[in-house]
Amino acid sequence: MDVELDSLITQLTAFKASLSTQWKPSYEYYVDNTTLPRNQRIAAAENYIKSSSYMGLFAAQIQQVKNSLNRFNRLLDASTFNDKDPKYTTVVYLLNKLYDEEYNESVRNLQQMLMSQRINGIQYDQKMKEISAYLSSRKTSLSDLFVTNKPNTMFPINDEEIAVLEEFTTRKISSVLFDSDKEDWSKNSSIFHDKIYRNNMLCFLVEDDRNNKFGGVMYDTVIDGNGWTRSSSAFIFSLIRKGILKPKKFVIRQSRGFDFEDRDIPEEGAFVLHRQQHEFLFGFGGGCDFEVSKKGEKSSRCIPGTYIAQLGDLMDDKYFNTKRVLVFKLN
């Protein structure tokens, strides 16, 4: 961090010297040539502003300072909010717990108001949407504040993989919400569940022991903490196939495919989050397009049916051993 800070100070000092010696305030008047067509007059005026602007004169130096400042901020975040620090973990989960308690109390109050006929069904539904959106925004803000946003040299996937995921999602990856290499994902642990439940804008990436990377994306809020969340915008994808980057994206089927519960509408089985006592962690697709088991439990499985993927698109077999699970927050 000292190296980054010294570099930033050096660049700012040089920038200050350049400003004092090269930039002189100009009070000259701009003369508009009214004999020219309007489009040429506009272009001439715009070029004058660009050539006279300190942003144009010092664009390279300004960008260099911005890049150094961003690197320093990321290093500062990484050293300040260490997700291995027990105090960090405690305060994050405490806030999540308090947010959930507040939400549950609001739901109970609404239910009592509905039963006592102080509000009608339409008002109840509207209020439920409002408090669910409010909770989701608070959890999103918590993730953005505390989850370490590390530079790509420390990021769990490379720049090329990031570029593919951001193209698939049309969103930027802002942070790592969950990393199984650092956090507990075994049966009876609530860490994964607490981070995913009532959260949204999530990209799940799974790595197996055969050099495959694949996953799924949920833009909608995960509203069921022990079951299925409906979504028409969710999709699954293949990123790495047998160690080679071969990105493919698979959306939800328009008509019913294979589904364990025989749902008529495929999007009803878009995503499942399991409770902490369950042997599985999460999954995409009612036919278990892929479902990840918890650490130390039986094999994970892949039986495409809800999404348009075919057997073999994500991995070699119907069953796989999970090596790593990552969840990225999108913005």
Q: Please work out, in degrees rounded to the nearest 5, the angle formed at the alpha carbon of residue 318 by the alpha carbons of 316 and 324.
A: 75
Antiparallel, parallel or unpaired: β 290-293 and 173-179: unpaired
With a cut of 80, say whether residue 19 has pLDDT above it. no
Task: Over range 30-54, report the average pLDDT.
Answer: 78
Q: What is the pLDDT of residue 81?
A: 47
With a cut of 80, say whether residue 65 has pLDDT above it. no
Q: What is the pLDDT of residue 97?
A: 78
Q: What is the pLDDT of residues 94-104, one digit of tens each?
A: 777 788 888 88
Of residues 266, 192, 187, 271, the one with CA closest to residue 224: 271
Band of the pLDDT at 46, cuts 50, 70, 90? confident
Task: Over range 204-228, report the average pLDDT.
Answer: 94
Distance, in Å, from the CA atom of 13 to the CA atom of 265, rounded to the nearest integer, reads: 62
Q: Is 34 or 292 the better-scoring residue by pLDDT?
A: 292
Task: Over range 72-91, report the average pLDDT.
Answer: 53
What does the domain layout of the chain look like in residue ranges?
Answer: 2-80, 86-146, 159-330
Q: What is the pLDDT of residue 8?
A: 73
Length of the chain: 331
Q: Is 248 or 43 the better-scoring residue by pLDDT?
A: 248
Q: What is the pLDDT of residue 191?
A: 92
Q: What percent of the chain has pLDDT over 70?
A: 78
Q: Is 91 or 251 the better-scoring residue by pLDDT?
A: 251
The per-residue pLDDT of the chain, averaged, comes to: 82
Q: Is 13 or 257 the better-scoring residue by pLDDT?
A: 13
Q: What is the pLDDT of residue 306?
A: 92
Q: Is 201 or 140 the better-scoring residue by pLDDT?
A: 201
Instruction: Render 231-299 in DSSP notation, one character per residue.
Output: -SS-EEEEEEETTEEEEEEEEB-SS----TT--SSGGGGSEEE--TTSSEEEEETTTTSEEEEPBTSS-
- Name the DSSP letter for residue 38: H
Band of the pLDDT at 149, cuts 50, 70, 90? very low
Strand order through the sheet with 322-330: 173-179, 322-330, 202-208, 213-218, 235-241, 244-251
Q: How many CB atoms lie within 10 A of CB 194?
A: 20
- Within the chain, what is the greatest distance between any pair of CA atoms? 80
Give phi and psi for 15, each to the nearest 5: -65, -40
Q: What is the pLDDT of residues 260-310, one digit of tens each?
A: 676 778 899 999 999 999 999 999 998 789 999 999 998 999 999 899 999
